[in-house]
Each structure stands twice: as C-alpha cells, then as structure tokens.
Chains A and B, each alone.
With several copies, the nearest count.
Chain A
Amino acid sequence: MTTVATTVEINYRKAIARALADALATDERVVFLGEDVGAAGGAFKATEGLKERFGDRVRDTPIAEQAIVGTAIGAALMGLRPVAEIMFADFAGVCFDQIVNSLAKYRYTTGGQVSVPVTIRMANGAGAGFGPQHSQQAENWFLNVPGLKIVVPGTVEDLYGLLRSAIRDDDPVLVFEHKNLFGVKGRLPAEPDDAYLVPLGVASVVRPGTDITIVAAQQMRHRALAAAAQLEGDGISAEVIDPRTLVPFDLDTVAESLGRTSRLLVVQEGPPDGGWGATLVARVAAEHFELLDAAPALLAGDRTPVPYATPLEDAWLPDAARIRAEAARIVRY
C-alpha cells in the first residue's frame, strides 16, 4: 500500500460513509438504498451526506428488507452496482430467502448468463447491550450457501478497502460492519485512492509470532492482540491473523503460519457450532493435520442467544483474559 498520499484520521463509522462516497463518486453505476440511509444519514449516522451529494442514486426505502434486497438484485441485472443496507445484521433473517435463494444462486441457476454485483452492508455483533435480536453474528448464517462472498472488516483501513473492493466485485458480497467498532480510529487517504483497496480473500498477519497462531476477526481481533501482548509477558510469542474475508477463506495464510507455530487457536464471536471458526478448525484438521502439535481450539461465544444485561453479555463474549489463558493452555499442551 502506497503511503505517499496524505492521510487523515477517521473512525470506522465515518469510514463507511467515506467508502460509499468514494464508490459513488468513482463509478456512476453504483447506487445505494436502505432504510433511513438518505435524508436521515443512517440509523448509525454512518451514511451522512450521501443523499445531499448523490441525490437519486441514494434511496430511502420502506421497512421492507425483502423488497430492498430483491430490488438491488433486479437493478444489478440491469447493469447497476447496488449497495443495500440492512440496518442490523439480525434483520438478514427477514430477507434470508432473497440473499440465499435469489442473490446467491442467480448466476448459477441461469448458467452464468450474468453476474450479480450486489453488495449488502449490515451491522453485526455483540457487546453494546442491544439484546438477543440486535447482537448476532449473522455472518455465520451464510457459510453453507455457495455463491456469496463474506467480509468482516475489523479496522478502518480494512473497512474502507474491503467495502470498496466489494462494490467493485462482480459477485454478491455481504459486508458485516461491527457495531462495537464504530468508534475505532484509523487513517485514510485524503482523496479517493485505489491503493487503499483491500483485496477480497486475503487474510492479514497483524502480529507475527512463533509459538501459536491465533485467528480472530473484528472485535475478537482487537482482543486477541491485547491477549498476545499479555502473552508476550508470559514468554509466549503469539501470531495473530485477521482473516478479514470469511468466504473465500484464505486458508494458505493460516497454514503457512501453522508451519511455524504448529498450534492453532481460533477466536470467534458467536456460538461455536456451524460458525466460520469451526469450519476453519475442521479444514485445518482435515487438510493440515500433520502441521498440528496440539489439539486445535475454538474459543467462541456461548451456545445461547446474546443476553442483554451487561454482566451476562460481558461474560458471553470471549475477552483478552480468556484468550490468553486458552492460548497458554494450548502452548503447554
């Protein structure tokens, strides 16, 4: 990534509006629709200024997620590159059929007559006290559905770079923006700059280490880094990998790391079964068994919905202390 361009500090929330603005400004085929995304600037105030600047290409919709996603698909078939916002990722349940049966399968079912460049943005994740129906890790609902790409940016730079790459991509991409990271800060170029695009399907080694490989995304990536710092004090060198994209998953980067560390800890927000963490552990066990000197581990949320009360939700989410302890256990295995 070039660093010549002058950069500005910006938070995750504003980086969303920035990425959308740059996408709308650099490609007139890009359009954006969702509930209160225009006049109101978004329920999370993450899309402010877009309506004023891009007019009709930014549309407020009724509360009708099935219509929102279906409309995006139809517009994409006609050559546009729609970005649809589903406010909270939990609401993907309401338009699950459109995403899974229409969007993901359209290209295949028609024998490749057309591709469907739809990007769907949604706010996922727990930790902010929104309760069971507004805190889910819906990214795990779509793993078994071929035809979708899924990204989970954990930093300002990845949010900007992946969202813009998603909009440029010819395939459907689900972009999960973690609602508990909206305040995280980072730096972006002052002007639109393609050098800041982050390719889909490429993990990032965010901390090098030699004793254990910790794979974690979004909120858990930050907690894993905190744990890694503590582990250093324990004399354990942890490598932290942020997959950034869940589908297609960059298994090579993880395998390459395991070649050095021989130990794997996957930290996943959300219940363990059927999630990307279990999928990764299974693939490593099946495809790279001989790299492992210890049982691979998955540290995840509990097998319960996300509770509301602070002490319950805090306990539900893996924290740095539990990541540190689990990593230490594995290294001592």
Chain B
Amino acid sequence: MTDELLDLLRRMHEIRFFEDTVKDWFTRALVRGSTHLYQGQEAVAVGVCAALRPGDTTTCTYRGHGTVLAQGAPLDRAFGEILGKANGLCRGKGGSMHLTDLSVGALGSFAIVGAHLPISAGAAWAAQLLGTGAVSVTFFGDGAANIGTFHETLNMASTWKLPVLFVIENNLYGEYSPIASTTANPVLIDRAPGYGMPGVRVDGNDVIAVRDTAREAVARARAGAGPTLIEAMTYRQLGHSRSDPAKYRPAGELESWLARDPITIAEQWLRSLGVSDADLDKLRDDAAATVRDAADRAMSWPDPDPAERFEDVLA
C-alpha cells in the first residue's frame, strides 16, 4: 500500500514538474502555439491509470500531458514533442495538444472537444470482439460533456456493453465559462441513468479515492457489465491556456482548491502511514531531478528536417 502510494505520488510530482517546465517554456516563448496545463488535476490521471493493466488504453484531451505521462510515456520524448523535436513522441508533427504513445496504450490527445470519446469506445469494441479483456478509458472535461459525441458514444457504449470508462475531469470551467453558465444541470452524473449506466462522483484530488473508483469500474467493464461514467471533481490551478490570467474566478476559489492540492493530500496520506517528511522531500526532489534531466535531454535534440513533413501521411 505505502509503496504503491509512494509510486503514485512520484508520478504526480513528475507531472507537476513537467507542467511547470512547459509553462516556463511557453512564457519564455521557447514554444509557439497553444498549451493547456494539468496542474491540480494530477490525481485524476494518476489515480485512474493506477487501476489499469498493460493492454488497457486511454484517450485524452489537448490538456493531456498528465494522462499520457501517467500511462508511462517517456518524459523526454513528451518534452521533445512539445518542443517540436525530431525525436518527439510524434516526430514534432502533433505538438502539445497531441501527445500520443501507442506503445504504452496512450492512443492520443485530441484537440477537437469530444472527438476522442468514440475512439475509446472503438478500442473497447475491439477488445470485446477479440476477447482480450482490455479496458479503454477516455478522459474529457466538464465542457466536453455538452457536445454531441458524448451523447452518441455513451448511448452506444452502454447498448453494446463495451468495456470503457468515461472519466469527466470536472475542473468547474470550460475555457473561461463556469459550468453553471453552460450546463443546465451541472451534476453530470445525473445523465448516467438516461444511458442505463452507473454514474459515480469522486474527489478528483484524492488519488486513492480516484484509483478505488476506477478499479470498481474497470472490474465491471472486464466482467462484461459495460461502461461507467465517472465524474472526478477537481480544479484547474492555472488558466485555460497560456494566454489566460483566469480573472473570471471568484475570490478565494483558487486558494481553497490549492489547500486541497492533490499532492498535499497524497502526502498527508503517506504521513499517516508513517512516511517521514525527509522521505517525502527526497521523493519530490528526485522527481524534480528526473524531470530536469529529461527536459535537458529533449532540449539537446535536433529539429526535424523540413523534408520530414512529407512523411507519415499515408502508410
């Protein structure tokens, strides 16, 4: 138990340091385009992926660095992709919004809201047909729950009893819109009965709670009982994207959530299990060092040759 939790905490640290590095790069204009960071939501990806086994797959959003890393994608090649390096996960063709590593089951980060839900359903359909016992997980936001693919996919997946988990990363905002301004009933699990599937709300900042909830849903899926809708309540500690100061937040909201930072909560758990502050600090510092090294490696890699742009369109 303690060892596993230490491992989850390490992953959360790595993701946090990874995102802090990316934020720094973007503010220093070392990277162009757009980026969407995961600080504060680490427990969702790490907790859910802790319930998976090799062969299981995930899809996620443009805010996907955390998920892809939680599944085990290498830090340096993830950095490399964001930097647009030839050795990036996607050879520099996708960038921050498209981190993908099929070798670890990370089927991809999708930049079109909602587009990946049916893709995870399809992976689950393959598992059902091939009898692999694999489970698919698709992570998406509260705002994405209002787009058509959510509806089409949940109904079809439930009708076909597909082994898939629909995990809402409910961080209370779309880009800048508080959920209540765009969603008639902001309790998103209230939609589950309409699809004949169970819906569970969980504290998305408590990695243990998330893992346990996911385990149950995974067991259900592997048993052939079909999909589960999981609504993980969490918070986006930074703005929607690089350019967003997040002025729209009510006073005190950020502070109260920072007090419930998923890393702090995990550390409290570990202290209660007798782990010393010194060990926790060392864990954090080691993670920081690991991430720093990966970043340095990625920085040192060459840019892709312009001619590479013609490759990978067709088989």
- Complex contact flag A–B (Cβ < 8 Å): yes
Chain A interface (Cβ within 8 Å of chain B)?
31, 35-36, 39-40, 43, 45, 56-57, 59-80, 82, 90-91, 93-94, 97-98, 101-102, 106-115, 128-134, 146-147, 149, 169-171, 302-305, 307-312, 314-316
Is A309's CB under 8 angstroms from B92's CB?
A: yes
Is B129's CB under 8 angstroms from A80's CB?
A: yes
Is A107's CB under 8 angstroms from B314's CB?
A: yes
Complex CA distance for A97 and B144, rounded to whole angstroms: 15
Partner of B126 from the list A67, A80, A97, A102 (CB cut-off 8 Å) is A80
Tally of chain B residues near chain A (CB < 8 A): 80
Complex CA distance for A110 and B93, rounded to whole angstroms: 7
* Residues in chain A near residue B52, CB distance under 8 A: none
Stretch of B170-178, B209-217, B274-282 that contacts chain A: B170-178
Is B33's CB under 8 angstroms from A64's CB?
A: no
Complex CA distance for A109 and B117, rounded to whole angstroms: 18
Is A312's CB under 8 angstroms from B309's CB?
A: yes
Complex CA distance for A212 and B43, rounded to whole angstroms: 61
Is A39's CB under 8 angstroms from B100's CB?
A: no
Q: A111-B90, A134-B97, A308-B95 are in contact. List 14 more A-B contacts (CB 8 A).
A: A71-B119, A74-B107, A74-B122, A97-B115, A102-B119, A109-B94, A111-B94, A129-B31, A133-B97, A302-B309, A308-B33, A309-B304, A312-B84, A312-B306
> In chain B, what residue has the closest Cβ to A45?
B243
Is B118's CB under 8 angstroms from A308's CB?
A: no
* Residues in chain A near residue B303, CB distance under 8 A: 309-311
* Residues in chain A near residue B136, CB distance under 8 A: 74
A307-B309 CB under 8 A given contacts A59-B160, A66-B152, A102-B112: yes
B313 contacts the other chain (CB 8 A): yes
Is B122's CB under 8 angstroms from A111's CB?
A: no
B237 contacts the other chain (CB 8 A): no
* Residues in chain A near residue B96, CB distance under 8 A: 131
Is A304's CB under 8 angstroms from B309's CB?
A: yes
Give the most central of A61, A131, A309: most B CB within 10 Å: A309
A73-B119 CB under 8 A given contacts A36-B175, A109-B90: yes
> In chain A, what residue has the closest Cβ to B115?
A102
